Amino acid sequence: MNDFITPQRAHAALLTVDAQRDYVNPESPVKSAGAYHALEPLSRLVHSVRESGMPIFHAVRFYKPDGSNVDLARRRAVEEGMRVLMPGSLGSDLIPEVAPENPPRLDPHLLQDGGVQELSRREEVFYKPRWGAFYRTPLEQRLHNLGINTLIIVGANFATSGRASVLEASERDFRVVMVPEACSGLRETGANDLARIGVSLMRLEECLAWSEGHHRPTQAA
């Protein structure tokens, strides 16, 4: 056992990345590959964690119509009229499978100003200006304030935002758990790369049992 990377349930939180309608909508130009198949496992995991009382954080993106806050890879497309993740739009909201019951609409002004919006008890959403969930966001400080040292990271877009968020968490010495079924776009080669940097890979049922306190996780390869 490696005590430096072994997940600690008593100090764990769940982080969803890009779990927004525009990343799942089949008609969206930014639809995440494999998002449809990840919805059911993602929903089960989020609801289980919510019932356990474990803190939940949601990292979301917004694209201003003028493209001024958009990553360079998509800025030209937004400047030329691509309308996705617009602040205040339905497409920028959390997907129903992830959002708590009767959630408030996201407040883009509060979030883009660096604020954190409470959705329910021990559940918050924050805005990230680029791929990773830690880059110029309040997440790291919020986690330290709660004594969190372990993150379960799931959601859409593993190839971009998911991977960046995992690397940023690892760089900050957080213990990281990933559930492949609940991460769209996470393929075997990517999962193997994560295991090499100490990420604990759990199947859905294993993570559900662990998050509920019934099982001790196996060590990452």
What is the DSSP annotation of 22-78?
HHH-TT-TTPPTTHHHHHHHHHHHHHHHHHHT--EEEEE----TT-TTS-HHHHHHH
Q: What's the pLDDT tens digit per position in 54-98?
A: 999 999 999 999 999 999 999 999 999 999 999 999 999 999 999
Which pLDDT value is given to residue 220? 43
Q: What pLDDT does residue 2 have?
A: 75
Is residue 30 within 8 Å of residue 84, measured between CB atoms? yes
Instruction: Report pLDDT for 193.
Output: 87
Mean pLDDT, the chain cut into blocks of 10 residues (221 residues total): 88 97 94 89 96 97 97 96 96 96 94 96 96 98 98 93 96 96 85 90 95 62 37
Which of 31, 3, 103, 186 is closest to 204 using CA atoms? 186
What confidence score (pLDDT) does residue 217 get?
52
What does the pLDDT read at residue 115?
Answer: 97
What is the reported pLDDT for 21? 96
Q: What is the largest CA-CA distance in the chain?
A: 52
How confident is the model at residue 192, as a pLDDT?
Answer: 84
Q: Which two tokens stand for residue 165?
A: 């968020």
